[in-house]
Structure 1
Amino acid sequence: MDKFTTLTGVAAPLPIVNIDTDMIIPKQFLKTIKRTGLGSALFHEMRTHDDGSVNEDFILNKPAYQNAQILVAGDNFGCGSSREHAPWALLDFGIRCVISTSFADIFYNNCFKNGILPIVVSEEQLETLMHAAERGSNFTLTVDLGTQEIKGLESGSIGFEIDEFRKHCLLNGLDDIGLTMAKAGQIDSFEAQTAESRPWV
């Protein structure tokens, strides 16, 4: 998993509440167990018309936001089913940070396991960020995980809270497997002691 330290990028405004995981990545794209290749299907039903043509009015299809790395979204982002394909699709598209007033618990947890930083802000702060993001590629935000600040706003930075353990994992690029491998020495030592003391096991 890639480390998340400081991210500077274009922020795409998506002022829609209750964006569920089926909206993020529809069910027909869940056949794969690979974490790559899902970016093209991100928000598929909003990014394309029924005939398969591109919906040029959707925010991520607009030239200014096609390389967005930050998503500023409405309340209760990531609700619905627990599919981990949702953060996979966001990450494959290039989104490394999602900012909202609240997230569904399972989606929120899955973000950290995949190198995405979900940030909870107040309604007033979200409104400020939405307005700023509407400026397109002429405006970039900087998300500093170390200092826990969103920078680049004319009104000043916005601080955010994050669990210290999750912060440590993101800063060091540690997913569940990485956390286990970090203790490889201790695991090997335990196995060696077990083999010596209980050779029949």
Structure 2
Amino acid sequence: MNIKGQTAPLPMANVDTDVIMPKRFLITITREGLADGAFADLRFDDNGARRPEFVLNKPEWKNASILIVGDNFGCGSSREHAVWGMMQLGVKAIIGTEFAGIFYDNARKNGLALPMVTAEERDKLIEMASNSEGYDIEVDIASLKIIGKNVNIDFTMDPATQRGLIEGRDDTLDTLKLVSDIQAYEAKLNDNQHVSVQQ
């Protein structure tokens, strides 16, 4: 699996899930329409007008699908909506030095790639992504490499997440593969309870 796209620099540290997806957008009972909530307070002012200073509102980065972010991205609450909203906004990968654990797990379950690099490599990518002419890269999940003009960087990702992204797997699909085993276990459990009651 390869992810290709334009990068955008978002070097802020400790961006929490309330910044990524403000709580007022959590009232929906479906995943639909969450793109509007992604980075809403950074993207829009109190009147709903776009903030021209925010990177994803600038013409140079409006089509970016890969973010280069500061340390500890995704900290805060466990809201999965943060991942859903960014993916609906068109974000396919986020490159950083580290990610909050629950956020990382939510991203893994939903197919959002989170390659991890050193601080020095991240800063180099931010510098390249800050080019107003745009900077495209390729994230090669199979070889764990980030490839672009003047850049060939190794990144880390745990094997289970790597496999899941390559195979398009998620927890639900993995569980569905075990339906017959689950049903057999439930039947055996019911039989044992029935015997117990009779005794």
Q: Same fold (TM over 0.5)?
A: yes
Q: CA deviation at 1:15?
A: 1.1
Q: Distance in 2 between matches of 1:16 and 1:63?
A: 20
- 2:149 matched to 1:161? no
Q: CA deviation at 1:187?
A: 4.2
- 2:142 matched to 1:150? no
Q: Distance in 2 between matches of 1:59 and 1:178?
A: 36
Q: Pick from 167, 175, 178: which aligns with 1:172?
A: 167
Q: Pick from 8, 24, 28: which aligns with 2:4?
A: 8
Q: Distance in 2 between matches of 1:172 and 1:38?
A: 26
- 2:81 matched to 1:85? yes
Q: Pick from 44, 49, 52: which aligns with 1:48?
A: 44
Higher RCO (CA < 8 A, seq sep 6+): 1
Q: Where do residues 130-149 of structure 1 align in structure 2 (5 Å cutoff)? A: 130-136=126-132, 138-149=134-145
Q: One-letter code of the match for 2:118?
A: S
Q: CA deviation at 1:186?
A: 4.1
Q: Distance in 2 between matches of 1:78 and 1:193?
A: 41
Q: Distance in 2 between matches of 1:9 and 1:52?
A: 28
Q: Distance in 1 between matches of 2:152 and 2:33?
A: 34
Q: Percent identity?
A: 39
Q: Pick from 88, 91, 95: which aligns with 2:91?
A: 95
Q: Distance in 2 between matches of 1:128 and 1:193?
A: 57
Q: Which moved more, 1:124-133 or 1:136-145?
A: 136-145
Q: Deviations over 1:152-193 (max 9, x none)?
A: 140x311112111121111111111111122345446x3698
Q: Distance in 2 between matches of 1:193 and 1:32?
A: 37
State the TM-score, normalizing by the size of structure 2: 0.89
Q: Distance in 2 between matches of 1:99 and 1:150?
A: 10
Q: Which moved more, 1:57-66 or 1:134-143?
A: 134-143
Q: Which runs of 5+ in 1 are unaligned?
A: none
State the TM-score, normalizing by the size of structure 1: 0.88
Q: 1:7 to 1:191 in 2, by over 3 A?
A: same
Q: Where do residues 105-120 of structure 1 align in structure 2 (5 Å cutoff)? A: 105-120=101-116
Q: Is the 8 A contact 1:65 1:137 kept in 2?
A: no
Residue-pair matches, total? 195
Q: Distance in 2 between matches of 1:122 and 1:153?
A: 19
Q: CA deviation at 1:200?
A: 5.2
Q: What root-mean-square deviation, in Å, do the aligned CA atoms of Structure 1 and Structure 2 show? A: 2.1
Q: Which runs of 5+ in 2 are unaligned?
A: none
